[in-house]
Structure 1
Amino acid sequence: MKAIVYNKYGPPDVLKLTEVEKPIPQDNQVLVKIHATSLNYGNLVLLKGEPFLARFAFGLLKPKYSIPGGDIAGHVEAVGKGVTQFQPGNEVFGDLSGCGWGGFAEYVSVPENALALKPANLSFEEAAAVPMAGVTALQGLRDRGKIQSGQKVLINGASGGVGTFAVQIAKSFGGEVTGVCSTRNLDILRSIGADHAIDYTKEDFTKKTQSYDLILGINGYQPISAYKRLLRPNGNFVHVGGSGSQLFQAMVLGPWLSMMGGKKMSSFLQRSNQKDLIYIKELLETGKVKPVIDRCYTLNELPEAFKYFEEGHAQGKIIITV
């Protein structure tokens, strides 16, 4: 089979399309023929080995996983004898970040709990946009953010992969959602249901007088003290992504700031979870959430896709067709 392989950390050009052995599913595994995959920030960490602390999980001196790629959508080609949830022919989607990656390939063998049945109303490309970004948004809002109906929610970085899901999921919980984005993305936010949109190229949202019950920081460089000023009493700030200094503040200063005044400040790391993926699937099938896709590349165009992704201006998700 064809797969994207790399053996050293570096820029996108270290990724090479080559022939490798097609996997054989073990007793508890499902062999998936992959039709589409997508890019996430975790893919970039895996590619570059940065921040350096990530190498303790992904390989200190060279990549532990030779075939990167987390999100997949495809159909089941074969199952191991211990598999009970799927059968050949099923259309599935899933997140491989918790079971060895390997999504940038024509086939992959994975544990069945990494997958869920693909939403019937989505194409493979649309389904591949969902797993990591959708579950990140869900877990950040529901589990760490403790979102409640009627709350005012601010999402900084609302037009990217995680952000577009976060806006829609927050709306599904009954939140009043304000999204922060650039001028060219305002229409996207309105189209996915944001109640308010702030153009960061024209105004500094941290200087506004509006306060929020929950803030999801997906992108940005602002000090977390600026977010704390925007929180209502007992409000919650959840750092999902942003600058390295912001991440450091959230991890180191967040717990200390949380002990002062009742406002919670924390960082968050998504964990792949089949139950949460199925929850997202139901939102997709009922039309409460829809993937936003910027553009598609082929597997052999993956280096170009990464270069575009690194620019940080994607409107929703970048898809790779296999």
Structure 2
Amino acid sequence: MSMWKKNWVKVIFAVLIIWVIFVGYYYVQHRIMIWQYTINQEMDLKDVKVKIEEVILENNNGRFYKYNNELLLLRLKGRIITNKSLSNSDANVMRKNIDIEVIDEVGANHSSGGRCQYEDGSNIVSFEVRGNLFPIDRINNELTIIVKDKMNNFSDEIKVKPEYNKKTHRFFSRNLMGMFILSLASLCLGFGGVLLTGEKLIIQTLIERLIPISGVWIFFALIIKEDGWKFEMVIMIIAFILLIYLFTRGKSTVFNIDEENILLLLQEICVDKGIEFDTRTFSVKMSNGERKEIDINSTAMITEINFKRIQDKKLRSEIVNEIKLRLDGMEKKKFSYTGLFYMGMGVIWIWVIHKANIFG
């Protein structure tokens, strides 16, 4: 049998073709451009000091890498410094009391949002002021940064003429989330497409379970973490994969075949290998006389075979490999609802990429 006739080769080829097409499109069409200027100026208010550190402009002007080369995202970073340690409640009061605005030469305010970070007991509150409608034709404008202490009715301002340092990134270097979703979408489309042809495949149950479970992780990541993957999330994913492995060890999943045909296939393989197979108890008789059951569960032309009780890994591997060979010679199923399901999953993830503007 030639390599091309093997089912796993067809799956890998289909996935790679779809992945290359999508990645090629996004690589050519999308770049992240960043303009950065360091300020490092301090303003003394009555009770605190406000240090303005830097201003950044970039063409990612919204959630999930939404590119716009005419209206840029402005980010002003700095720190509020006090002479005493702050509790969480103190920091919250200060955050509401100190107001920071960025005004361009025509008087437009680019301070539509922001965020603060602080630790209980620290005397520093880090802040970031954001505005996502900064016109690129005003990139050389002088900026006025106004800091207001609303409690003491006091304000101060500085004017800066930024001389930006421009950098350009492709999305590969900034968007691991997007790359993961794109790879998952390509896998679903390629795998589903091969199943729709009626091909009968057998893969480790671990891999089959990880495809939909990966989708669940992406859902939570998109909702909880806007800034991409975090170390804690990666550790949780690795731990979860190990947990799934423990529950799926020794299991294989067969697509486009029902339980009856799997039983016939196992019986033929055992007869050819001189192994006694009991179709009533789904058990095989080992060389030492012991009987080991094989658990078989079938739903909608997806059959899960659990060889875990067969401790002889060599025999277990031989049976799985023999199933692979004999599946290639079986008649193709005319239509696969499972293939349609995976194709649907792939389309949904492509829709997520565009709807959430992950690459633009």
TM range (shorter): under 0.3
Give the structure with the higher percent helix: 2
Larger Rg: 2
TM score, norm. by length of structure 1: 0.24
